[in-house]
Chains A and B, each alone.
Chain A
């Protein structure tokens, strides 16, 4: 077997090779000083990286963020409430429109019930227009004799 690519050696260290490939690589490495050296370099690198000092934030961020988190939470709640109201708004408007339609319709129906003067009562050639003032008493008196 030729030396495996470095990708495979790296995956071998991470136990990410399939069982057959792992066995083959393992058998090769046992007899290959070059691959042994490369594998050792990967293990050494890992150990040293893990030995590096771990920087810490140095304060309790959770406690420090409490006020901002509460404010964000309140904003979110308000937005949700706003959405709830805005969700009811179209329904409310539709109901109001329907109610006003019914009301206006009712007025029309009621209006038709208003009694109109009978046709016989209307004098087509009345010299005084309906609601008009009588300009001359004798003209107005004329109407008395009419049906």
Chain B
């Protein structure tokens, strides 16, 4: 495989649109972990996330000739990934809650001693609480807080207007804060 890491994103995209498989593979390498980490938390399954990551890029390659620079490539990829994940969640009726572990009494320990063990425990509990949120709240928090997307990009990925993005982010934050401070 040719090394195309020196190419910028738009050059890779335009080569890939002309059928250059190596250029598309370079794009896959750049975005695979972001797409995977989004999917693994959205589907709550590493196996599903692996399959869907692969499917996302295959779909993107097939649709790439129709892609235009009006949409950001990243948000376009996330939209494909998100739609695939929701198809799967609906098929498996896995859109809602999973049970917290028995010992997952969630207490905010931010003010206490902050050794490594406590930090790890806190993050584990936060992750568990995040996974318990409804998928609509989970996905918007992942896009905003982990992927650091703007409201405009989130609106584009989820097909929502800006007002809905604003209120849904607030509700998701409120729900997660509530879940981690009970």
Which of A's residues lie within 8 Å of B, judged by CB? 6-7, 9-11, 14, 16, 41-42, 44-46, 48-57, 60-63, 65-66, 68-70, 72-73, 76-77
Contact = CB atoms under 8 A, between A and B. Distances in A.
A53 B127 CA distance: 9
The A contact surface, by secondary structure, is helix
Contact of B141 (A49, A66, A70): A49
For chain B, the bracket of interface size reads 35 or more
A68 B55 CA distance: 11
Contact of B62 (A7, A53, A72): A72
Contact of B28 (A10, A50, A65): A65
Contacts of A53: 123
B66 to A, nearest CB: 12
Interface of B: 1, 19, 21-22, 24-29, 32-33, 36-37, 40-41, 46, 49-50, 53-54, 57-58, 61-62, 110, 119, 122-123, 126-127, 130, 141, 144-146, 151, 166-167, 169-170, 173-174, 176-177, 180-181
B170 A65 contact: no
B32 A57 contact: yes
A62 B29 contact: yes
Contacts of A56: 33, 36-37
Contacts of B53: 57, 61
Nearest to A68: B58
A56 B28 CA distance: 13
